[in-house]
Structure 1
Amino acid sequence: MAEPAQQRDARDKLALLLSLIPYLMDHDSVPVKDAAAAFEVTPKQIRDAVHLIAVSGLPGESRAYLAGDLFDIDWDALEDRDTIVLTHTVAIDDTPRLSAREAAALIAGLQYLSALPEHADRDAMASLMAKLERGTAAGAAQVAVTPAGLRDTIATVRAAIGDHTQLEFDYVSARGDSERRSVDPLRIESVNDDWYLRGWCHLRKAVRTFRLDRIDQLVKTTRPISEHAERVVLPERLFQGSPDDLTVSVDVAAATLPLIADYVPDDAPREPDGDIVHTRVRVAHYHGLKRMVARFAGQLTVTAPPEARAAVAAWASAGAARYAETTSADDEEG
């Protein structure tokens, strides 16, 4: 049975009204023609909706609609300049707001989604993130965002992913070796403060993960990605094991274990001991432990093998010595 035209028209007017109010609140001053274009309706429909807004509101304690209980607009601006300006809103500011922590979690999720090539409408996500920031009770808590030094790199990688073209760059491995790589970019994503590119490496003939802060001389080519990349199904885990990986035993705080889950092999033991878990992690090189130990200082301890403990101890001793030198120099200057 077809919906009556009158009922459908009332529903459309209500939908326009509910959408128009937050739109006007996000804009200090909006020409009627701009609002009409934004909602794909006629200027007359916008003016009719504005007049309806002006007689909408919530009754006060007296259960009567007094002046302060209704929306209001700048009538002179509407009549003289055909411009809409809200001068008073009702109940909107009284609605429950997200906490700073809740907004930060949503923003972080949107940042992750915007990094995936299948989500192309990044402008809409950026607009939503801005609204979440403004709509919190006390401003969103700070979350990991693109470091300033990597913005150009991330923009170039995203452009190549969107265009399905290859990248070329110099890459410094964890061992300090530098090689020129040709890569079919597949995905860019972040873990804590670090950003990574996953793609088909033509040098290694396999999928590899590259840390963006180790990439230099990045070039977006016009060569299309290879058939290998088109057939690749990326695993859920960011860090994949390799036959050349080294296994290291660690004691890690139970609350921290999920944060290093990508480094823990599936067959590794997870033995709880109070607030500590005895387990193993895999690394490409013992030097790679330095970053992990630094990030989780006081929460992760390397227990074996001796070579791994020695590498971390030497790094920590060198850092302490450097700190002592700096402190001594400052004292002399003082």
Structure 2
Amino acid sequence: MADQQPLQAQDKLAFLLVLVPYLIDHERVSVAEAARHFGVPEQRIRRAVELIAVSGVPGETMQYQHGDLFDIAWDDFEQNDMIVLTNLVAIDDSPRLSAREASALIAGLQYLSALPEAADRDAIRALMAKLSRGAGGAASNVAVGQDLHDAALSTIRRAVADGRGLAFEYAGPRTRGGTRRVDPLRVESIDADWYLRAWDLDRQALRTFRLDRMTNARVDDRPAEKTIGDVVIPDTLFQQSGGDVIVTVELDCSALPLVADYLADTADAEDADGRVRIRLAASNGFDGVVRLVAGLPGRAVVLDPPAARAAVRAFAEAALAAE
């Protein structure tokens, strides 16, 4: 079996982080078996084991002593190609997760369990319970804010699990409302907003729908025509269509990650004042641009077209008049 391309430093670290627990769990395993398990050449396993054998945690003197390093049964390794760890380092006295760390992980697992493609929810719940018990302190009761969308999420999950289509009433920034018939593919979130990525049957294209604009979601009797394996889903939530207007916005470069999913193309280079210009694909109503600018007070300015500037100005004037 030919060796693969050399691993980068971060890849080597990631490989060691999964290899060490594997060796501990198996106690005695052959190089060939480990290579088959990880799908790598045997020589890569041997090099990794040799690296593990010179790894460890320095003692109180900050110098490595024999007991501060992992060790293996060298004769068995060199003569029989068998791996046996004979000295483990920082396993029994490794620190527990703090309450804050455990709470963050639990919140992430709660989010994961809400996704329709998350199949093994029993395993997720068991892991959440283990995190709560194993934390260094009592984990906070953390809930991911999705209460308003629970009914829609449950319906979407059922449609995906049964391989069925989905129908719902939808009023988006580009439509006045109507029934949409889709094949649900994925649910994602940005901050507090949840989105459905789905194949729109009427438009025969991938579309993104906000769950808070969906009503009366129901599972169709028809089988889904498209599944997540049939459609290439871009990393960004929104893609430009022929009816979009390109809006140029200037904002602080520190705010760029907050709008990455909305960019129509790449951002310009940062100027001397730490500002960048971006272009967004927007509908003629500019609702999305107005919400974006309102969510970045003092950090974003619409430059073009004039109609988009007027929409932002009208929103600001209405907000001031309501005070």
Q: In structure 1, what is the Cα distance between the partners aligned to 2:253 and 2:142?
A: 25
Partners of 1:295 and 1:138 in 2: CA distance: 34
Q: Would you say the 8 A contact 2:199–2:226 is kept in 1?
A: no
Output one character per residue of 1:240-261: Cα deviation in whole Å (capped at 9) or x when no partner.
Answer: 2212222111122222201211
**Number of the residue aligned with 1:182:** 181
The residue correspondences of 1:91-170 to structure 2 (distance < 5 A) are 96-99=95-98, 102-103=101-102, 105-132=104-131, 135=135, 137=137, 139-140=139-140, 145-170=144-169
Query: What amino acid is aligned across from residue 244 of structure 1 in structure 2?
Result: G
1:307 aligns with 2:314: no
Q: Is the partner of 1:189 in helix, strand or coil?
A: strand
1:277 is the counterpart of 2:276:
yes
**CA 1:121–1:289 in 2, change beyond 3 Å: closer, same or farther?**
same
Partner amino acid, structure 2, of 1:164: G
Q: Is the 8 A contact 1:100 1:141 kept in 2?
A: no
For residues 282-324 of structure 1, give each alpha carbon's deviation from its aligned partner in whole angstroms, at most 9, with x where no partner exists: 22341221221222223322222221111011011111211x2
Question: 1:130–1:192: structure 2 CA closer, same or farther, 3 Å change rule?
Answer: farther
Counterpart for residue 293 of structure 2:
293
The 3 A distance-change label for structure 1 pair 277 and 182 is: same
**Other structure's SS at 1:198 match:** strand
Equivalent-residue separation in structure 2 for 1:142 and 1:276 (angstroms): 36
Q: How far off is 1:275 after superposition?
A: 2.9
- CA-to-aligned-CA distance 1:200-259 (integer Å, 9 cap, x gap): 111211111100000012111221101587632222222122122221111222222012
1:239 corresponds to which residue? Answer: 238
Distance 1:227 1:128, change over 3 A: closer
Which residue number in structure 2 is paired with residue 257 of structure 1? 256
Q: Structure 1 residues 116 and 319 mapped into 2: Cα distance closer, same or farther (>3 Å)?
A: same
Q: CA offsets per residue over residues 83-109 of structure 1, 9 Å max, x none? A: xxxxxxxxxxx9634346544553454
Larger Rg: 1
TM-score, length basis structure 1: 0.61
Worse overlay, 220-229 or 241-250: 220-229
Q: 1: CA distance between counterparts of 2:303 and 2:268?
A: 14
Query: What does residue 68 of structure 1 align with?
Result: none
Q: Distance in 2 between matches of 1:223 and 1:211?
A: 23
Distance across 1 between alignment mates of 2:186 and 2:177: 22
Counterpart of 1:205?
204
CA distance in 2, matches of 1:163, 1:188: 16
- Helix, strand or coil for the counterpart of 2:271? strand
- Unmatched 5+ residue regions in structure 2? 1-23, 26-92
Distance 1:123 1:297, change over 3 A: farther
Cα 1:278–1:229 change in 2 (3 A) is closer
Amino acid at match of 1:224: P
Q: What code does the residue aligned with 2:264 have?
A: P
Q: Deviations over 1:20-47 (max 9, x none)?
A: xxxxxxxxxxxxxxxxxxxxxxxxxxxx
Q: 1:165–1:184: 8 Å Cα contact kept in structure 2?
A: yes
Structure 1: distance between partners of 2:242 and 2:290: 21
Unaligned residue ranges in structure 1 (runs of 5+): 1-13, 16-93, 325-334
SS at match of 2:277: strand
Q: What TM-score do the two structures reach when normalised by structure 2?
A: 0.63
- Structure 1 vs Structure 2 CA RMSD: 2.8
CA contact (8 A) 1:286 1:311 kept: yes
SS in 2 for 1:183: strand
Give, in whole Å, the separation in 1 of the partners of 2:214 and 2:232: 24
Cα distance between partner residues in 1 of 2:250 and 2:162: 44
- 8 Å CA contact 2:290–2:315 kept in 1: the answer is yes
Question: CA offsets, 1:122-152, max 9 Å, x none?
Answer: 2322332354456264645957x24222111
Distance 1:209 1:147 in 2: 18
Q: How does 1:35-74 map to 2 (within 5 A)?
A: none
2:221 corresponds to: 222
Instruction: Give the conservation status (yes or no) of the 8 Å contact 2:236–2:260.
Output: no
Q: Distance in 1 between matches of 2:107 and 2:243?
A: 34
Looking at structure 2, the residues matched to 109 and 191 of structure 1 have their Cα atoms a distance apart, in angstroms, of 13
Larger relative helix fraction: 1
